[in-house]
Structures are given as structure tokens and as C-alpha cells.
Structure 1
Amino acid sequence: MAMNVGPGDGGAEKPLSDINTTPLVDVMLVLLIIFLIAIPVVVQTVDVQLPDVVFEPTETKPENVSLSIRPTPGQTGANATCEVYWNQTPVNAEQLVERAVDKLETEIARQGGPEAPGLELPEVHIRGDVNTPYRCIGGAIYQMQRAGFARVGFISEPPAGSALRAR
């Protein structure tokens, strides 16, 4: 093994303290090439065409149900309880199902019964607070579907400056 020495002060030779980086760069380039080749082989995906997301204004109809869901004030995290509001009236799970069944029956009767031509069932529009646990939103969806509502949508606020699609 050889040691590199260079001229020192006063003619005495001292070892050089510079690190030879050429082998380090070589190793890094080899690793880069390996990763560039290996990553496409490792990542296996199913080809799925995702929908284009464009904010569309919601058409509010009087027969639609508006639910607002938020965590109970002062509670955070996975153990937080939630509050569900039918329009602006707080409801629990049983009241939610009762009101939903009554609303659906009333709307079907108003349109001429379940066999009426052109029957248009109301929709559920959910406004969920960003901090609401998923189980609260999922529970409200489940209760509304259990009552017979087939269409459930989420109301959101588009970011400032985003484009709206005209119909």
C-alpha cells in the first residue's frame, strides 16, 4: 500500500489529507444506473384512467337533503365524536334515519308513488368539516343509504381562482 506525500514546510514531506472522490463518484453512478433500471421493474401498476377533476356548481333543489358534519367542538383525533346537522338542526343516528325515511316517503308520494313515470328521488348533499373523522362521514352515508337514498354527494369549496365548467 502506498502513501501519497507532498512537499511540506521547510522541505519536510507530510502526508496529503485530500480524499480521492473518484471511486465514490463511480459507485454513485453505478447505483444510479441500477436504480433507474430496477424501479420500473419493481413498480407494477394497473392502468386506470382517472377522471378529470373540474369543479361544477351544485344545482340546489328544495327536495335535496343537506347534511353538515363536524367534530364535536373541543375534540380532536380518532376518538372525537361528531355532530350531524339536518339543514341546521342537530340529529343523532336514529333521528337521521327516521327523518330520511320520512323525507323519501313524502317525496315519492308527492310525485305520484313509486310507480310514477319520471320519478326523481332527492339527493343527499354532505358538507363535511376537514377535521371530521372519516367514520363520522361514512356513518352518515351508511345511514342515508339504509334509509333508501341512492345518490350521495359532497359539497366542497373550490380553491380561489379555479375554473368552473359551464354546462
Structure 2
Amino acid sequence: MAFSTQDTDEVLSEINVTPLVDVMLVLLVVFIVTAPLLTNSIPINLPKTEAVAPAEQKDPLVVSIDEQGKLFINKDEIQPDLLQTNLQSARQKDPDVRVQLQADDGVNYGEVARAMASIEKAGITKLAVITAK
């Protein structure tokens, strides 16, 4: 092995990033401290008003399917083949009728799908499926 004993005075051409990092950290702290102070708010006395009641919304029709597969509209039992006609008559009375569908956990999905199809065939577009938390 050969060792070199020459003393060369070469210039180190790498940038020392430590001072750069120090300066950036100081600037970051300054910006973090001063940023909340820059949000000036103009004091305004807003007028006082009375609360207005929200617009009345009609109660939706609730279509329920119990564990035995029986259909109910607002707690009135109906035959499954009459669901579509009952919903069509309700839609004729109120074109913006809303329907909520709730089914027991043990009900076959096919029955729920049939009820949803009947609701769609009745022309009702506002349907909410109710579930438990």
C-alpha cells in the first residue's frame, strides 16, 4: 500500500447547509408567531333579528317491511301488489312526495328490492332508506 504524504491545499467546493437550515428555522418560527397577528378584524355591530321558523315540510310516507315480509304504509298494512298503486295515488296528491323505506334486518333482500322497484315505478324520485345506527 502506498501512502501519500503530500499536503495539498485544495479548496472544499461543497456548500455548508447548516447555516442555511438555521436561518430557515428562525424564519419559520418568526412566521408562525406573527401569522395570527396579521388577521385584522374590523369591529362591526351587526343588526339583531328575530329567528324565522323554517319552512314547513310535509311528513314523508314511510314504507315498512316487517320480519314476516308484510308491507306497511304509515303503519297501515297493504298487499305487496298494491304498493305501486297506493304510491301513485299519493304522488298524484303531492308531486313532491318523499318516501322513507325501512326494512327489518331479517327480511330477504329480494323483498326490499321489489319494494324499491315499486317505488321507482310509481314515479317517486325522493327515496330515503332508513337504517339503525
- Secondary structure of 1:67's partner? strand
2:67 touches 2:105 (CA, 8 Å); kept in 1? no
Letter in 1 for 2:62: S
Q: Distance in 2 between matches of 1:83 and 1:62?
A: 25
Number of the residue aligned with 2:71: 84
Please give the residue correspondences for 1:56-67 in structure 2 after superposition, counting only pairs within 5 Å. 61-67=57-63
Instruction: Tell me the equivalent position of 1:93.
Output: 80
Partner amino acid for 1:145?
Answer: E
- CA-based RMSD of the aligned residues comes to 1.8
Structure 1 residue matching 2:107: 3-state secondary structure: coil
Structure 1 residues not aligned, in runs of 5+: 1-60, 73-81, 109-120, 159-167
Which position in structure 2 is the counterpart of 1:133?
108
Distance in 1 (alpha carbons) for counterparts of 2:77 and 2:124? 20
- Could you say which residue in structure 2 is the equivalent of 1:52? none
TM-score w.r.t. the length of structure 2 is 0.53
**1:102-123: CA deviations, max 9, x gaps?**
1000113xxxxxxxxxxxx222
TM normalised by structure 1 equals 0.43
1:152 aligns with 2:122: no
Q: Give the CA deviation at 1:151.
A: 2.1
The residue type equivalent to 1:134 in the other structure is Y
Report the residue type matching 2:103 in the other structure: G
Q: Which has the larger radius of gyration?
A: 2
What SS does the corresponding residue of 2:63 show, helix, strand or coil?
A: strand
